[in-house]
Structure 1
Amino acid sequence: MASLHISNVRKAYGPTEILKNINIDVTDGDFLVLVGPSGCGKSTLLSLIAGLDTISGGEIRIDNDRVNDLHPSERDIAMVFQSYALYPNMTVGQNISFGLEMRKVSKVERDKAVADAARLLQIEHLIKRRPGQLSGGQRQRVAMGRALVRDPKIFLFDEPLSNLDAKLRVDMRTEIKKLHQRLGATIVYVTHDQIEAMTLATRIAVMKGGVIQQFGTPAEIYSTPANTFVATFMGSPSMNLIPAVLTTRSDTLVLTMGEGSAAVRLDLPAQSAAVARYAGKKVIAGLRPEAIGVESSRVPDAVREVAVKVLVMEPTGPDTLAALEMGGVEVAARLGADIPHSPGEHCNLRVDLSKLVLFDAQTEERIA
């Protein structure tokens, strides 16, 4: 396996800039997920790594080798496509071994590689079948097997699960995670699905408009989003963003959400000096749904009680999603499965302010 270094990479088609100064460092064995809305440039970046398109500026290195001008066949990468790209007239075994055959690998070695990949992916019983006789999940395993036998430095996945139904997508996601854990492979994976990104990645690059909005671990992306775009794009339901004002009372910072009689005023636990400098200014308060209606917290001193009105309750089985009115603003909360409240009811819920994230009201960047 290998490391991947992307330095100041740009891609433009005429005057239209698709990627703008992309910088990413992936270490050996990392699982990098490129995530973002359609048209953000994530698939374009994957194509540049693969050598299927040329870069307009910057540098891509695999290990210490600059690959900008290398043909895809010389980069030692293997790609798994959204469309599977299997040959319909070949059996599963022939599809998996075709690339090796083109490289003049001996039949003995080919057969061993195919058998090893089939065993790893649990498709030994499908070796003699053709793609038309397989389900979508089985076809995706065959496409992965074809990549595996190459034993490349880097695996590239281009939205490989988007054609599968919801349950199969979850199952295949688990299989890909297991595969990464077994192989310790370096993987770059493109998706627009933030659940896939959070569950699969060791590193995530959130993209928008050809720019990386944030690069970090799933925990960093989720708990300390760099801006309001990342805050709302990652997480389901997304982070609540509530217009607020910071003031001081004695030596305590007070967060006021809403206006007039509906306003909610909360004494904040100790904050950073950067947050303290916003006293007297408008901010955006970010709270994840699970921070509202908590029963306990790792930081008990950060828990506050807040008056809310229940608007909608959506039982999901293990928990209940609720739409609440708090400070005159509608917010989403993830409550317990047996929460004893009903729509229209006024009640008090506990809010965990240790999970509060504050953003600049003008720039929408997180206040560190």
Structure 2
Amino acid sequence: MASLHISNVRKAYGATEILKNINIDVTHGDFLVLVGPSGCGKSTLLSLIAGLDTISGGEIRIDSDRVNDLHPSERDIAMVFQSYALYPNMTVGQNISFGLEMRKVPKAEREKAVADAARLLQIDHLINRRPGQLSGGQRQRVAMGRALVRNPKIFLFDEPLSNLDAKLRVDMRTEIKKLHQRLGATIVYVTHDQIEAMTLATRIAVMKGGVIQQFGTPAEIYNTPANTFVATFMGSPSMNLIPATLNTKGGKLFITMGEDAAAVRLELPEEQASAVFSHAGRKVIAGLRPEAIGVESSRNTHALRDVEVTMQVMEPTGPDVLAVIEMGGMEVAARLSADIPHAAGERCKLRVDLSKLVIFDAQTEQRIA
């Protein structure tokens, strides 16, 4: 395993900039996920790390070695592609060992490496089958096995689960996480699926338009998004963004959320108030995750506020209910208890946990608290 350092990396095709001053540092054993919408530059960045494309500026280091000008074969990386890229006329064992054979690794050593990888990925019983006889999940395991036997410094995954059905994606996600925990390997993983990003990563880089919007742990990305794009892209359902104003009364700071006639006015807890007191009198955007609405209990009892709402749409999921409610004249999403005693169309009170409130500047859309 190795560390990866990306410093001021740019990629341009003529006058079109695809990546703009990318800076990322990951340490030994990190699982970095590059996530963002289609066209944000995440696969391009992976190609630059792999050496499949040349950078226009900046520097990439693996450990202390500058790899900008190294051929892919000299970077000691292994890549798992979305399309599996298996040889159809070869068996599973031959596909896994092919790279080792090209490197003139002795036969006994190759066979041991293949057997170990197949056992780890639980495909040892498939070793003599060909790719056409395998399911999508099994093919992906073979592709992972081919990377695994190389014992590289860094594993690169390019949307490896996007061709699988929903249940198989969940199963393979678990297998990849187990593999990372067993190997302690450094992994860079590209996906557009924010659930994959949250569940797999130790570090996430959220990208948009060739720019990293935020780099941090899954908890940091989810709980303290840097801007409204990150807030809405990460999380399902996404964070509610509610137009609001901050104002003072009697030395206390209040936030007024929603439309004028039905607006909800709530006193901010002391810690939130102190962080944004200088913004009093200004328009802001209030961010609330769905699970911060309809809270039944919390360690932050000082931050709980009762709010009048109207239940509009209720979608039971089993463990909870996803609801669309009217709050402050706005439609917002809430994640409620499965046994909530209210029905669609009913007016009721729900508790909002303001310790989970995130406040963004209305003009720049950057988080201020």
Q: Answer yes or no: same fold by TM over 0.5.
A: yes
Shift of 1:252: 1.2
Once residues 193 and 319 of structure 1 are traced to their aligned partners in structure 2, the CA distance between those partners, rounded to angstroms, is: 22
Shift of 1:337: 0.7
Give me the whole-angstrom Cα distance separating, in 1, the residues matched to 2:343 and 2:304.
23
C-alpha displacement of 1:174: 0.2
Instruction: Mark the runs of 5 or more structure 2 residues left unpaired by the alignment.
Output: none
Q: What's the CA shift for 1:260?
A: 3.4
Report the AA paired with residue 314 of structure 2. Answer: M
Out of 137-146 and 262-271, give the one that drifted further.
Answer: 262-271
Alignment partner, residue 363 of structure 2: 362
Q: Deviations over 1:91-130 (max 9, x none)?
A: 0000000000000000000000000000000000000000
- 1:297 Cα offset (Å): 1.2
Q: Distance in 2 between matches of 1:360 and 1:187?
A: 35
Amino acid at match of 2:145: G
Q: Would you identify which runs of 4 or more consecutive aligned residues in structure 1 move more than 3 Å?
A: none
Query: What amino acid is aligned across from residue 85 of structure 2 in structure 1?
Result: A
Cα distance in 1, alignment partners of residues 275 and 59 from structure 2: 35
Deviations 1:246-276 (A, max 9, x none): 0011121100012333110000101264411
CA separation in 1, counterparts of 2:333 and 2:143? 40
3-state SS, counterpart of residue 262 of structure 1: coil
**Any idea what the Cα deviations from partners look like across 1:219-266, whole Å, max 9, x if unmatched?**
000000000000000000000000000001112110001233311000
CA distance in 2, matches of 1:238, 1:300: 24
**Deviation by residue 1:46-100 (Cα, 9 ceiling, x = unmatched):** 0000000000000000000000000000000000000000000000000000000
Who is 1:60 aligned against?
Answer: 60
Give the equivalent residue in structure 2 for 1:308. 309
CA distance in 1, matches of 2:362, 2:275: 14
Letter of the 1:240 partner, please give it. Answer: N
Question: Following the alignment from structure 1 to structure 2, what is the Cα–Cα distance between the partners of residues 142 and 105?
Answer: 19
1:260 aligns to what SS in structure 2? coil
Contact 2:244 2:255 in 1 (8 A): yes
Equivalent residue, structure 1, for 2:88:
88
SS at match of 2:279: coil
User: Alignment identity in percent?
Assistant: 87
Between the aligned partners of 1:276 and 1:194, the Cα distance in structure 2 is: 33
Give the Cα–Cα distance (whole angstroms) in 2 for the partners of residues 258 and 32 of structure 1. Answer: 37
With normalisation by structure 1, the TM-score equals 0.99
Name the CA distance, whole Å, in 1 between partners of 2:259 and 2:357. Answer: 20
Q: Tell me the equivalent position of 1:186.
A: 186
Q: Does 1:162 align with 2:153?
A: no
1:277 counterpart SS class: helix
The alignment status of 1:275 with 2:281, answered yes or no, reads no
Give the CA RMSD over aligned residues.
0.7
Q: Is the 8 A contact 2:34 2:206 kept in 1?
A: yes
Q: How does 1:1-368 map to 2 (within 5 A)?
A: 1-270=1-270, 271=272, 273-368=274-369
* Code of the aligned partner of 1:165: D
Letter in 2 for 1:96: I
Q: Equivalents in 2 of 1:217, 1:14: separation in Å?
A: 34
Q: Matches of 2:152 and 2:259 in 1, distance apart? A: 59
Instruction: Give aligned pairs, total.
Output: 368
* Partner Cα separation in structure 2 for residue 298 and residue 226 of structure 1: 25
Stretch deviating more after TM superposition (34-43 or 247-256): 247-256
SS at match of 2:146: helix
Letter in 2 for 1:355: K
State whether residues 253 and 273 of structure 2, in contact with CA within 8 Å, keep that contact through their aligned partners in structure 1: no
Evaluate the alpha carbon distance shift between residue 107 and residue 272 of structure 1 in structure 2; reply closer, same or farther with a 3 A threshold: farther
**Matched residue SS, 2:261:** helix
